[in-house]
Chain A
Amino acid sequence: MLYDLKLKLDYTYDVPVSGGRHLARVFPLHSPGIQKVVAAGLTLSPQPAEHSVFVDFFGSQVTALAYRSPHDALEITMTARVEVERDDPDIDFSPDLGGLRAEIAAHWDLGARSPHHFLSASPRIRLDPEITAYARESLGSTTTVRQAANDLCLRIFNDFTYDGEATLVDTPVSEAFGLKRGVCQDFAHIMIAGLRGLGIPAGYVSGFLRTLPPKGQPRLEGADAMHAWVNVWCGREAGWVEFDPTNAIRAGQDHIVIGYGRDYSDVTPIVGVLRSAGGHETTQAVDVIEVP
Chain B
Amino acid sequence: MPELISAYRPIAGVTDEMVGADGTVKPGWRDVMGALDQLGAEELNARFQRADQYLRDAGVFYRMYEGSEQGEREWPLAHIPLIIADSEWQQIEAGLAQRADLLETVVADIYGENELVREGLLPPELIAANPEFLRPVVGVEPQNGYHLHFCAFELGRGPDGRWWVLGDRTQAPSGAGFALENRVATTRALPDIFGRLHVRRLAGFFRDFRNALTGMGGNGSGRVAILTPGPHNETYFEHAYIARYLGFLLVEGEDMVVVEGQVMVRTISGLKPVSVLWRRLDGDFTDPLELRQDSEIGTPGLAEAVRRGSVNFVNALGAGILETRALAAFLPAIARARMDTDLLLPNIATWWCGGEDALDYVRDNIGSLLIGPAFSTLLSIDDNGETRDGTTATPQDREDLLARITGDPGAYAAQEAVKLSTAPVYVDGVLEPRPITLRVYAARTPNGWSIMPGGFARVGYTLDNAAIAMQRGGQAADVWVVSDTPVEQISLLAEANATIERNPSGNLPSRAGDNLIWLGRYAERCEAMVRILRAYHMRMAETGTDTHPLLVSTTDYLEPLGLDTVEPIPQGLLAIVDGAVRSASQIRDRFSPDGWLALTDLQKTANRFARTIKPGDDATRALTILLRKLAGFSGLVNENMYRFAGWRFLEIGRRVERGIQIADAAAWLSAPEMPDGATEMLLEIGDSVMTHRRRYGYSLGNLGAVELLVTDPLNPRSVMFQLTELLEQLKALPRGLVDGQLSAPARLALQLQTQLAVVETPDVDVAMLADLSAGVAGVSESISMTYFG
The answer to whether B124 and A54 touch across the interface, beta carbons within 8 angstroms, is no
A117 and B128 form a contact (CB under 8 A): yes
Number of interface residues of B (CB under 8 A): 26
Q: Which residues of chain B are near A158, meaning CB under 8 Å?
A: none
State in angstroms the CA–CA spacing of A140 and B360 once bound together. Answer: 30
A116 contacts B289, CB within 8 Å?
no
A109-B117 contact in complex given A21-B289, A119-B128, A273-B289, C-beta closer than 8 Å: yes
Q: Is the CB of A273 within 8 A of B124?
A: no
* Residue in A107, A121, A271 whose CB lies within 8 Å of B124: A107
Q: Across the A-B interface, give the 9 residue pairs with the lowest CB-CB distance, nearest first.
A: A116-B128, A120-B129, A57-B135, A273-B300, A21-B300, A116-B124, A117-B128, A110-B114, A110-B124
Interface residues of B (CB under 8 A from A): 114, 117-120, 124-125, 127-129, 135-136, 138, 258-261, 288-290, 292-293, 300-301, 304, 307
The answer to whether B120 and A110 have CB atoms under 8 Å apart is no
Contact of A108 among B117, B290, B304 (CB under 8 A): B117
Q: Which residues of B contact A110 (CB under 8 A)?
A: 114, 117, 124, 127-128
Task: Tell whether, in the assembled complex, residue B136 and residue A23 are in contact, meaning their CB atoms are under 8 Å apart.
Answer: no
B277 CB to nearest chain A CB (Å): 18
Choose from B124, B259, B293, B301 the contact partner of A114 (Cβ within 8 Å).
B124
Chain B's closest residue to A127 (CB) is: B408
For A57, what are the chain B residues with a Cβ–Cβ distance below 8 Å? 135-136, 138
Give the residue of B124, B138, B293 whose beta carbon is less than 8 angstroms from that of A265: B293
Q: How far is the CA of A234 from the CA of B114 in the complex (A)?
A: 24
| A23 CA to B303 CA, complexed, in Å | 12
| Chain A positions 52 through 84: 1 when the CB is less than 8 Å from some CB of chain B, otherwise 0 | 101011100000101000000000000000000
Q: State A117–B135 Cα separation when bound (angstroms).
A: 10
Minimum CB–CB distance for A91 against chain B, Å? 28
Tally A-B pairs: CB < 8 A. 65
B130 (CB) vs chain A CBs: closest residue: A120
- Given contacts A21-B300, A54-B307, A109-B118, is CB(A271)–CB(B289) below 8 Å? yes
In contact, A66 and B301 (Cβ under 8 angstroms): yes
A50 within 8 A of B: yes
Q: Which residues of A contact B119 (CB under 8 A)?
A: 108
Q: Shortest CB–CB separation between residue A135 and chain B, in angstroms?
A: 16
Cβ-defined contact, B289 with A23, below 8 A: yes
Those of A90-144 within 8 Å (CB) of chain B: 107-111, 114, 116-117, 119-121, 123
Give every chain B residue within 8 A of A50 (Cβ-Cβ): 259-260
Q: Complex Cα distance A21/B290, Å?
A: 11
Q: Name the residue among B136, B260, B300, B301 with the largest chain A CB count within 10 angstroms.
A: B300
- A273's partner among B261, B288, B307 (CB-CB below 8 A) is B288
Closest Cβ–Cβ distance, residue B449 to chain A (whole Å)? 28
Closest to B126 in A: A116
Q: Distance in Å from the Cβ of B106 to the closest Cβ of chain A?
A: 13
Q: How far is the CA of A20 from the CA of B290 in the complex (A)?
A: 14
Checking B120, B129, B135, B290 against A23 with a beta-carbon cut-off of 8 angstroms, the contacting residue is B290
Given contacts A21-B301, A57-B138, A114-B124, contact A109 B114 (CB under 8 A): yes
Report yes or no: A116 in contact with B129, Cβ–Cβ below 8 A: yes
Taking CB atoms, residues of chain A closer than 8 Å to B258 are: 21, 66
B637 to chain A, nearest CB (A): 32
Residue of B whose beta carbon sits closest to that of A50: B260
* B-chain residues with CB within 8 Å of residue A111 when the two chains form the complex: 114
Q: Report how far A121 CA is from B290 CA in the complex, Å.
A: 18
A22–B300 Cα distance when bound, in Å, is 9
A108–B124 CB distance below 8 A: yes
In the bound assembly, the distance between CA atoms of A121 and B125 in angstroms comes to 12
Alpha-carbon distance between A108 and B304 when the two chains are bound, in angstroms? 29
A109 and B123 CA atoms in complex are apart in Å by 9
**Min CB–CB distance A172 → chain B (angstroms):** 14
How many whole Å from B704's CB to the nearest CB in chain A?
A: 47
Residues in B whose Cβ lies below 8 Å from that of A23: 289-290
Q: How far is the CB of B581 from chain A (nearest CB, A)?
A: 27
- In this complex, the member of A111, A116, A119 whose beta carbon has the largest number of chain B beta carbons within 10 angstroms is A116
A7-53 CB contacts (< 8 Å) to partner B: 21-23, 50, 52
A22 to B307, CA, bound (A): 16
Cβ–Cβ < 8 Å partners of A121 in chain B: 129
B93 to chain A, nearest CB (A): 34
How far, in whole Å, are A116 and B125 apart by their CA atoms in the complex?
6
* Bound-complex Cα distance A52 to B259 (A): 12
Residues of A near B117 (CB, < 8 A) are 108-110
Closest to A19 in B: B257
Q: Is B118 a contact of A119 with CB atoms below 8 Å?
A: no
Q: A117 vs B117: C-alpha distance in the bound complex, in angstroms?
A: 14
Would you give 18 A-B contacts (Cβ < 8 Å), ordered by A? A21-B258, A23-B289, A57-B135, A64-B301, A108-B117, A108-B124, A109-B118, A109-B124, A110-B117, A110-B127, A114-B124, A116-B125, A116-B128, A117-B128, A119-B125, A120-B125, A121-B129, A273-B288
16 more A-B contacts (CB under 8 A) besides A23-B289, A54-B307, A57-B136? A21-B258, A21-B300, A50-B260, A52-B304, A64-B304, A108-B118, A108-B120, A109-B124, A110-B124, A111-B114, A114-B128, A116-B129, A119-B125, A119-B128, A271-B293, A272-B289
A64 nearest in chain B by CB position: B304
A269 to B256, CA, bound (A): 26
Expressed in whole angstroms, the minimum distance between the Cβ of B359 and any Cβ of chain A is: 13
CB of B492 to closest CB in A, whole Å: 38
Nearest-CB distance from A214 to chain B (Å)?
39
Most buried by A among B128, B259, B293: B128
CB distance from B132 to the nearest CB of A (A): 13
Chain A contacts for B138, CB-based, 8 A? 57
Q: A263 → chain B, closest Cβ, in Å?
A: 12
Query: What's the Cα separation between A52 and B310 when bound, in Å?
Result: 15
The distance in angstroms between the C-alpha atoms of A165 and B292, with both chains bound, is 27
CA distance A38 to B237 in the complex (A): 57
Bound together, the chains give a CA A52 to CA B261 distance in angstroms of 10
Residues from chain A with Cβ under 8 Å of B293 in the complex: 123, 265, 271
The residues of B that contact A58 with a CB separation of less than 8 Å are 135
Expressed in whole angstroms, the Cα–Cα distance for A110 and B304 within the complex equals 22
A123 CA to B131 CA, complexed, in Å: 9
A119 lies within 8 A of B129 (CB):
yes
| A143 CB → nearest B CB, Å | 24
Residue of A whose beta carbon sits closest to that of B304? A64
List A contacts of B136 (CB < 8 A).
56-57
Residues of chain A within 8 A (CB-CB) of B307 are 54
Which residue of B125, B261, B293 has the most chain A CB atoms within 10 A of its CB atom? B125
